[in-house]
Structure 1
Amino acid sequence: MHLTANQLVEEARKQIREVAPGDLAALRGSAVLIDVREPAEYQTGHIADAINIPRGVLEFQVDAHPAVANASDPALSSKSCPIVVYCRTGGRAALSAVSLQRMGFTDVRSISGGITGWTDAGLPVTTR
């Protein structure tokens, strides 16, 4: 059986927990925030303190992302650390959340609606 990209995303959404943009504040102090969009997308505006690890390399770089010169990030060294992922509208983030769960991360969420839902809710982005 062949699936479309949208069908894959819908299947992924059934396997993950999503958090509404406005509810992210409760997790911000303890969760690692990962933006899985491409670097050019990230540069146009992202949630403050988000780490950019593009979806295409997430599984390879989650433990050693470029933001820390390819050294393991202590925040990601524990498979039980809370992780919140997002993309533009939520599809890539849903697929990413499933992959992270399959890799053993036990506390993974996705922002429903992605950065689009975030900005639609009037929440701030940064380009720094």
Structure 2
Amino acid sequence: MPVDINELVAAAQSRIREVEPGDCLAGEALVVDVREPAEFAQGHLPGAVNLPRGVLEFQIRAHPAVACRTAGSPAPASLPLLLYCLTGGRSALAADSLRQLGFEDVRSLAGGLRAWRNAGLPVSMD
């Protein structure tokens, strides 16, 4: 039986770890914005890299930010990742996909960029 998108996101959220905006470990994790490039250009978390949801699973291991952080260390699967989108749905699905691909330390930002902004946290335009 088909499910709707809300059920799909809820199922993914039950299998992943979500973190609240105030609890993010920005310095420890590679922050990945899974929105489209045009959305990223309108504002993003400071230090985030843009890897859209549509290509994330195909490009994550080859992305320069991943290669840079894992040089001389264990495989990229052990790299802490914090994923986010606008409201948390796409990032939950993306975190679940990466978990299935063997990434061990993946988190999704609960409520996404909208919750981040509502918490009064900084947004970068660079």
**TM-score w.r.t. length of structure 2:** 0.91
Say whether the 8 Å CA contact 2:30–2:48 is kept in structure 1.
yes
5+ residue gaps, structure 1: none
Say whether the 8 Å CA contact 2:34–2:50 is kept in structure 1.
yes
2:49 to 23, 48, 51: 51
When residues 54 and 112 of structure 1 are mapped into structure 2, their CA distance, relative to the original with a 3 A threshold, is same
5+ residue gaps, structure 2: none
Name the % identity: 52
Per the alignment, residue 18 of structure 2 pairs with 18
Say whether the 8 Å CA contact 2:15–2:96 is kept in structure 1.
yes
Say whether the 8 Å CA contact 2:66–2:76 is kept in structure 1.
no
User: 4+ residue runs of structure 1 moved beyond 3 angstroms?
Assistant: none
What's the CA shift string for 1:12-62, capped at 9, x where partnerless?
Answer: 0000110000111xx222211100000000000000110100001100110
Per the alignment, residue 73 of structure 1 pairs with 67
Give the number of equivalent residue pairs: 122
In the aligned structure 2, how far is the partner of 1:58 from the partner of 1:50? 14
**Over aligned residue pairs, what C-alpha RMSD do you find?**
1.4
Partner amino acid, structure 2, of 1:74? C
**TM-score w.r.t. length of structure 1:** 0.90
Per the alignment, residue 120 of structure 1 pairs with 118
Q: Secondary structure at the match of 2:11?
A: helix
Moved more, 110-119 or 77-86: 77-86
